[in-house]
Amino acid sequence: MNSQLTGQYIPGTSIMHRMDARAKFSGFLLLIAAVILTGTIKGYLLTISFILIIAALSKLPPEIATGSVRRMLPFFFVVFLLNVLFFESETPLWQWGIVTISIDGIAQGANILLRIVLILILSNVLTLTTPPMALMAAIESLMSPLRFIGVPVGDVSMILSVAVQFIPTLLRETDDIRTAQTARGAQFESGKLLDRAKALPPLLTPIFLSAFKRADELAVAMEARGYRGGKHRTKKASQPMPVSGWLALLLCAALCALQIFLF
Amino acid sequence: MSFEIKSLSYVYQRGTPLETPALENVSFSIGDGEFVGIMGHTGCGKSTLLHLMAGLLPAPAGTVLIDGEDINRKGYDRSVLRRKLGVLFQFPESQLFESTVEKDVAFGLKHSGLSTKDIEQRVQWAIETVGLDYSRVKGQSPLGLSGGEKRRAAIAGVLAVQPRHLILDEPTVGLDPMGREALLELLVKLNRDGMTILMVSHDADSLGEAARRLLVLHQGHLAADGPIGQVFADMDAMADWGLGVSQSREAAGLLARKGLEVPQDITSYRQLLPAVLTALKGGGSP
Ligand SMILES: Nc1ncnc2c1ncn2[C@@H]1O[C@H](COP(=O)(O)OP(=O)(O)O)[C@@H](O)[C@H]1O
Ligand SMILES: [Mg+2]
């Protein structure tokens, strides 16, 4: 039993909650591009402020918007360290065998770290302010041009939306099984890598079993109710994107452009 | 004292719009060897309470003492807790994962420091205690067992560590009447041999048969705590909390209305039958 499951939608009325999901998702992609394009200190200042403003507009409690970031701190540390220690530089500060410490390496480490953190925060804001089904509908509507090159968009989106609906159930179940096995003496928190690896089967086996069972039951239920594949699906008529959505997209695109041309 | 719970409160997702208070200022204690039932409407916080009592959720407000020790104290050895406190969750069959029943039941003994031979003996004892045929099931995959047998195998896994205290969350849900009978008999026997048992259940009949004391949770508060006969005696209060009483208790009430002098703190059939006979024979005063 976690007190907060990762990446689960939190209802609200903030600007980010109310924004059109298609705009949010496309904006998300544009901002990821902007983060990757950012390379200078001035550029970072702009990108970071932009993303912090978005996070603030979402009115999410900061510790939740940055939840996954804090949980992955050990991973970040390793990534940073690898970059600092093994970046090959012309001007090393200190060298010993293959270990090279340099300003370039430290900058590279910081650069990568900052990008991961920013992208994590963005994806947190996206999934925490958008109901899963709205997100799926947005992705389907953005993918719909692919229909013309033969992609079965309907089926793909059905698969995605079923998967998305399963995520909270699976997370809840993982949590329940982890708790139950902990009560039986499993040690998931033990620091040693080997112990942690050993603790995986008691967790993964029941989860896979239950996921397969659910998938099976769902398939039977869908067939029994007459699901015959994407071509026959009816879809809600899509609405045009509101002006606010276009405006948000324009801002995100502007950030991208600035990163490319100015910095 | 097995358990001492002091002003325990719990809020899920504190600080978010989804904030859910689950428990508010709950205090009680349970002595060694007691058999205590917990009833309460769905969502009233029963499972949360069990998780807190088993140290599976940190307690941010209030304390949980087990055998006099604060289980949330820094430096408290959780592996000791795992060995003296058995926990059986709802639908425990979903925890089975090993390739054979024998290995699965032995899972909790991995870090016990027992010899292979002792572990084998414990496993055999546990499997036989829950009423499964040891020689038949030990090499079988737990997934090949029937529903009722899976539940038994899961219980055997909890019993194998021979915990002093046992916590159960809705253990009778999904069992057929015979499976339910057998489970209750097992719990009563374990309790008679000294195990403290705390059992959450909606099933008033099961609790009426097995438990001697009943706690009622209502919207996160402890609404009642006393001998189960006394708590069941007030059927109106039980109805207010959205709960029913055991059939035997209900029968005692109906018989009293027909003028038969049957005590109203009856909870089980075992108590009802002699009481009715006495009332019929004595024609009134006992
Ligand atoms: N992991 C969780 N996250 C958020 N809320 C929860 C969680 N688990 C339980 N709750 C909520 O806490 C309350 C008490 O739940 P629970 O202890 O499971 O009740 P019970 O077992 O009596 O049915 C309910 O309102 C429930 O919705
Ligand atoms: Mg429950």
Q: Using a CB-CB distance cutoff of 8 angstroms, which residues of chain B are in contact with residue A205?
A: 97
State yes or no: pLDDT of A19 exceeds 90: yes
Q: Higher-confidence residue: A110 or B198?
A: B198
Relative to beta strand B20-30, strand B3-12 is: antiparallel
**Of A150-154, B103-107, B282-286, where does mean pLDDT reach its minimum?**
B282-286
Q: Give pLDDT, residue A153.
A: 78
Question: For the purposes of burial, counting CB atoms within 10 Å of the CB of B97, is it exposed (0-12), middle (13-18) or buried (19 or more)?
Answer: buried
CA distance A118 to A122: 6
* Band of residue A6 on the pLDDT scale cut at 50, 70, 90: low
Instruction: Point out the ligand 1 atom lying closest to the alpha carbon of residue B45.
Output: 17
CA distance A163 to A82: 35
Distance of CA B32 to the CA centre of its chain: 14
| pTM for the whole structure | 0.77
- Provide CB contacts within 8 A for B195, sequence distance 6+: B33, B163, B164, B165, B166
The pLDDT of B276-282, averaged and rounded, is 89
- Provide CB contacts within 8 A for B60, sequence distance 6+: B9, B10
- Provide CB contacts within 8 A for B162, sequence distance 6+: B122
* Band of residue B283 on the pLDDT scale cut at 50, 70, 90: low
Q: Give pLDDT, residue B73.
A: 92
SS3 per residue for chain B: CCEEEEEEEEEECCCCCCCEEEEEEEEEEECCCCEEEEEECCCCCHHHHHHHHCCCCCCCEEEEEECCEECCCCCCCHHHHHHHEEEECCCHHHHCCCCCHHHHHHHHHCCCCCCHHHHHHHHHHHHHHCCCCHHHHCCCCHHHCCHHHHHHHHHHHHHCCCCCEEEEECCCCCCCHHHHHHHHHHHHHHHHCCCEEEEECCCHHHHHHHCCEEEEEECCEEEEEEEHHHHHHCHHHHHHCCCCCCHHHHHHHHHHHCCCCCCCCCCCHHHHHHHHHHHHHHCCCC
* Band of residue A190 on the pLDDT scale cut at 50, 70, 90: low
Per domain, the residue ranges of chain B are 246-286
Cβ–Cβ contact A1 with B under 8 A? yes
Report the chain A residue with the minimal C-alpha distance to residue B142.
A206
State yes or no: pLDDT of B23 exceeds 90: yes
Q: Higher-confidence residue: A159 or A57?
A: A57
Q: Give pLDDT, residue B37.
A: 98
The answer to whether B180 and B169 have CB atoms below 8 angstroms apart is no
- The strand pairing partners of B221, in sequence order, are B218
The pLDDT of B159-181, averaged and rounded, is 93
Comparing CA positions, the residue from B254, B263, B253, B266 lying closest to residue B284 is: B263
Instruction: Return the number of CB contacts < 8 Å for A and B.
Output: 75
Tell me the pLDDT tens digit for each residue of B2-12.
999 999 999 99
Whether B157 and A201 lie within 8 Å, measured CB to CB: no
What DSSP string describes A123-184?
HHHHHHHS-HHHHHHHHHHHHGGGGGGT--HHHHHHHHHHHHHHHHHHHHHHHHHHHHHHHT
- Average pLDDT over chain B, rounded to whole? 93
Q: Which of A1, A63, A185 sits opposite B51 (nearest CB)?
A: A1
Q: Which of A63, A174, A176, A184 to mutate to test the interface with B (most CBs of B within 10 A)?
A: A184
**Of A3-7, A115-119, B157-161, B200-204, where does mean pLDDT reach its minimum?**
A3-7
Q: Give pLDDT, residue A3.
A: 42
State yes or no: pLDDT of B31 exceeds 70: yes
Please give the share of chain A, as a percent, with pLDDT higher than 90.
21
Q: Give pLDDT, residue A7.
A: 59
Report the chain A residue with the minimal C-alpha distance to residue B107.
A184
The pLDDT of A204-224, averaged and rounded, is 84
ipTM of the complex in this document: 0.83
The answer to whether B8 and B52 have CB atoms below 8 angstroms apart is yes
Whether B157 and A12 lie within 8 Å, measured CB to CB: no
CA distance A173 to B71: 25
Both tokens of B84, joined, read 């003296």
Q: How far is the CA of B265 from the centre of ligand 2 (A)?
A: 27
Q: Which of B48, B86, B107 sits opposite A202 (nearest CB)?
A: B107
Whether B51 and A179 lie within 8 Å, measured CB to CB: yes
The pLDDT of A243-251, averaged and rounded, is 91
Q: Using a CB-CB distance cutoff of 8 angstroms, which residues of chain A are in contact with residue B86?
A: 183
Q: Which ligand has the shortest distance to the CA of B43? A: 1
To test the pocket of ligand 1, the residue of B10, B12, B13 to mutate (highest count of ligand atoms within 8 Å of its CB) is: B12
The pLDDT of A50-76, averaged and rounded, is 86
Q: Give pLDDT, residue A2.
A: 45
- Report which DSSP code applies to A227: -
Tell me the pLDDT tens digit for each residue of A96-106.
777 778 888 88
CA distance B174 to A100: 63
Q: How far is the CA of B6 from the centre of ligand 1 (A)?
A: 20
**Of A28-42, A190-204, B6-20, B201-215, where does mean pLDDT reach its minimum?**
A190-204
* Band of residue B134 on the pLDDT scale cut at 50, 70, 90: very high
Cβ–Cβ contact B57 with A under 8 A? yes
Q: How far is the CA of A248 from the centre of ligand 1 (A)?
A: 38
Q: Give pLDDT, residue A234.
A: 60
Comparing CA positions, the residue from B7, B83, B2, B64 lying closest to residue B35 is: B2
- Report which DSSP code applies to A230: G
CA torsion, ordered A213, A216, A217, A220, to nearest 10 deg: -170
* Band of residue B173 on the pLDDT scale cut at 50, 70, 90: very high
State yes or no: pLDDT of B239 exceeds 80: yes
Q: Which of B14, B87, B111 sits opposite A183 (nearest CB)?
A: B87
State yes or no: pLDDT of B277 exceeds 70: yes
- Report which DSSP code applies to A97: T
How far away is chain B from the Cα of A237, in angstroms, using its nearest Cα?
31
Q: How far is the CA of A26 from the centre of ligand 1 (A)?
A: 36
**Of A90-104, A114-128, B151-165, B255-269, where does mean pLDDT reach its minimum?**
A90-104
- Average pLDDT over chain A, rounded to whole? 83
CA distance A156 to A177: 30
Whether A184 and B94 lie within 8 Å, measured CB to CB: no
Whether A181 and B95 lie within 8 Å, measured CB to CB: yes
Q: Give pLDDT, residue A4.
A: 47
Q: Give pLDDT, residue B286.
A: 47
How far away is chain B from the Cα of A67, in angstroms, using its nearest Cα?
13
- The strand pairing partners of B21, in sequence order, are B11
Q: Give pLDDT, residue B84.
A: 93
Please give the share of chain A, as a percent, with pLDDT higher than 70.
91
Comparing CA positions, the residue from A243, A16, A18, A24 lying closest to residue A138 is: A24
Identity of the amino acid at B157: G
